Chains A and B, each alone.
Chain A
Amino acid sequence: MPILVKRLLAALVIILLLITINQYMSVDGLFGFGVPPYYARLIVLTGINIILAVSLNLITGFTGQFSIGHAGFMAVGAYSSAYLTVYYAGAWEQSLAGMLGASFAHVLIFFLAILVGSLVAAIAGLIVGIPSLRLRGDYLAIVTLGFAEIIRVVILNIDQVGGATGFTVPAYTNFLWVGAFAVITIVIVYNIVHSDVGRALISIREDELAAEAMGINTVRYKVLAFVISSAMAGMAGVLFGHYTSFLSTNDFQFIRSFEIIIMIVLGGMGSMTGAILGAVVITFLPELLRMLGPKLESLLSSIVGAENIPVPVHNFLLQLANYRLVIFAALLIVIMLTRPQGILGTREFGLSWLKRSRRPPEGDKPVGESVTTGDAERGSTTDSKNEVDDK
């Protein structure tokens, strides 16, 4: 089969799959089966987090540039598109509906909003990226964090988008939008990483000086990756804002950027599937921990009987939900202590991975392993060769 036909077929399958899943994302669903709203919401938020994690992985995982400002670009995308949909979309939609039909006009307007949100976030990424990407390591991290905080405070002071009281936004997003754009993000980042640009980006991650010596315009590539990554974060912001239909600058504090970093580090930096896995785990884990107490309680009572559960155990299980964030943080530390390269390392999860894991461990030395040890040696010495840059 020609490769084009193969790809078209794959695209068709994915589209059909997304449309089918979308039907289940309501209480009625298809054939009487549906996902409860609570889970539907979690699944949509997972999709948005996948976009954020995969896009951050491009700049942090593959290019090795440490950014803690992703939430800022997300906010730029969310607020700029919301400005459009709140003040202009209604009128445009009405005038377009006559020509194209109401539902098509609706789709077109939201598509435009996503485009605008991504574009504005990309411009913000360019403005932030050009000066800051001259810095390296922790300095870059703290500057991106600073920019994100400044963006947040600036938005907080624009009265047209609600300021401190928050901004009510029409709800356009559903699972289909999020799923489609998550797939688009993954395909774009995959293609970038496997192109000559991707080679250049990875060489910058491995050794920036050597890459420069090989004739790679490191600043240009870093800014390119940063801008693409910001645009995708903006896209995620548009989807997020039009899903929750209420925007508050508190949603875009630096803790949000941390969350995205945790996703990619947990999944394994520089691994596409790792970023996706990390996004799923980080979105679901706190919610699963919330349910842990009651579930254990009912399990216990079915074994020993509800009246036989000792009171302290009963109280402990009831209060477990309050401690879910404590457990979450503790788990995070334990995972980092036991598996510092993340769940997948730089490997990709797939069919070939399953085959490879059956081999004896000696043969199972993926390329990424050596990278991790290299980093470790660098971290253990205090020779600040790679720490500080002042050219």
Chain B
Amino acid sequence: MDTFVQQIINGLTVGAIYALIALGYTMVYGILRLINFAHGDIYMVGAFVGYFLAFQLGFATGPSLLGLTVVLVGSMVAAALVGMAIERFAYRPIRKYARMTTLITAIGVSLLIENVFVAQLGAAPRAFPQLLQEQSYTLFGNAAISKSQILIFAVSIFLMLLLQWIIFKTKVGTAMRAVSFNLSSAKLMGVNTDVIISVTFALGSALAAAAGVLTAQYNPQIDPLMGIMTGLKAFVAAVLGGIGNIPGAVLGGLLIGIAETFVVGYGQNIGIPTTFRDAVAFAILILVLLFRPTGLLGSTVQEKV
């Protein structure tokens, strides 16, 4: 029972990270119908910006709450700018073209970011400085929760609530919902769609960067290719929950995080090797899509001629 609770806690930690990244995928897809393959790399960029901020501003020497806050917010702002730049220079010119073209461009942007980082910094992993005094708290029984896990839960819940507030209570959020409902109608109603799309990319990228810095606190190893697999799984999480659906992205992320942790923790008891960790997300996705083609919480849209 203790290990079960422990697995759930660990799974939710990983899942919260996936959920934060999945939100960016789902928002961009909801508005542009674009799989933003570069989003996983924004997560990586966020972690690296945090890394350099920590060293440049002298927070790498020891744990401090101020350092953590500055690094987290700084990397979120930087990633938001990167996301807006990508949208402005790569995606906006091709927005009206065929889907395949936009997809290849997204893959191109992803390759560009990865290769610029590899060429500049090398592919070797780097140790992220510890900004949080690591400490473990015992819960009921023997299950334990570490300070970095609490941090991940606290920050991700805060950011998700903040996002919910932005989307449902502010003018920008209303415009975002209008654009995702129907871009051309929103434009006719006087919504500046270019600005709204830009804001969407900024919000999604900031969340991904937060995920990057938080992961680096939990597992302090960062490298330029860390965003590929994590980004892909986060995208799977978004599709699993119903792409375009914000609570769906969170649900999908948490589910995949828990499933992965369970495969590592219990898989061997029923003959599943731990290497299936990377496959389980896809297996769940395929099973769900075969029975619910629009994901768990996705709305069903009837096809019209």
A residues touching B (Cβ–Cβ < 8 Å)?
Answer: 66, 131-132, 134-135, 137-139, 141-143, 145-147, 149-150, 152-154, 156-157, 164, 209-210, 254-255, 258, 261-262, 265-266, 269, 322-323, 325-326, 328-330, 332-333, 336-337, 340-341, 372, 375-377, 379-391
Contacts and interface: CB of A to CB of B under 8 A. Distances in A.
Interface string B278-294: 11011101100110011
B102 A149 contact: no
Contacts of A325: 111, 115, 118-119
B98 A376 contact: yes
Contacts of B184: 380-382
A146 B112 contact: no
Interface stretch (B58-66, B87-95, B154-162, B208-216): B87-95
B101 interface: yes
B57 interface: no
A333 B105 CA distance: 5
B95 A380 contact: yes
Contact of A381 (B35, B118, B119, B183): B183
Interface string B91-130: 0011111111111110111011001101100000000000
B186 to A, nearest CB: 9
A381 B179 CA distance: 10
A326 B294 contact: no
Nearest to A148: B282
Contact of A379 (B29, B102, B283, B301): B102
Given A326-B116, A329-B111, A379 B105 contact: no
Interface in B248-305: 273, 275-276, 278-279, 281-283, 285-286, 289-290, 293-294, 298, 300-305
B112 A382 contact: no
A265 B232 contact: no
A382 B119 contact: no
B236 interface: yes
18 contacts: A132-B286, A138-B243, A142-B285, A145-B282, A146-B286, A149-B282, A150-B286, A154-B279, A255-B228, A262-B107, A325-B115, A326-B116, A328-B115, A337-B93, A340-B94, A379-B97, A382-B33, A390-B303
A139 B289 contact: yes
A143 B285 contact: yes
B120 to A, nearest CB: 9
B294 A269 contact: no
B31 interface: yes
Given A135-B293, A326-B119, A390-B301, A376 B278 contact: no
Nearest to A140: B289
Interface string B66-96: 0000000000000000000000001001111
B134 to A, nearest CB: 31
Contacts of B283: 146, 150
Contacts, number: 172
Nearest to A383: B182
A383 B109 CA distance: 26
Nearest to B179: A382
A326 B115 contact: yes
A59 to B, nearest CB: 13
B278 A388 contact: no
A258 B228 CA distance: 13
A285 B305 CA distance: 43
B104 A138 contact: no
Interface of B: 29, 31, 33, 35, 90, 93-105, 107-109, 111-112, 115-116, 118-119, 179-184, 228, 232, 235-236, 239, 243, 273, 275-276, 278-279, 281-283, 285-286, 289-290, 293-294, 298, 300-305
Contacts of B112: 326, 329-330, 333
A372 B104 contact: no
A245 to B, nearest CB: 25
Contacts of A372: 98
A147 B101 contact: no
Nearest to A64: B100
A340 B101 contact: yes
A391 B303 CA distance: 8
Contacts of A150: 279, 282-283, 286
Contacts of B109: 329, 333
A375 B99 CA distance: 8
A153 B279 contact: yes
A387 B301 contact: yes
A36 to B, nearest CB: 27
Given A134-B290, A329-B111, A379-B95, 17 more contacts: A66-B99, A138-B35, A146-B285, A149-B278, A150-B286, A261-B103, A269-B100, A322-B119, A326-B115, A329-B112, A330-B112, A332-B111, A340-B101, A380-B184, A383-B182, A389-B293, A390-B293
Contacts of A376: 96-98
A153 B276 contact: yes
A380 B96 contact: yes
A255 B183 CA distance: 32
A147 B286 contact: yes
A139 B94 contact: no
A149 B300 CA distance: 27
A109 B300 CA distance: 52
Contacts of B273: 157
A266 B201 CA distance: 26
A340 B179 CA distance: 25
A157 B275 contact: yes
Given A382-B181, A388-B301, A337 B100 contact: no
Contacts of B108: 329-330, 332-333, 336
A320 to B, nearest CB: 10
Given A340-B94, A387-B33, A153 B278 contact: yes
Contacts of B115: 323, 325-326, 328-329
A379 B96 contact: yes
A147 B236 CA distance: 12
Nearest to B183: A382
A134 B103 CA distance: 21
A156 B272 CA distance: 13
Given A142-B236, A382-B184, A388-B294, A265 B99 contact: no
B111 to A, nearest CB: 4
A372 B100 CA distance: 11
Contacts of A332: 104-105, 107-108, 111
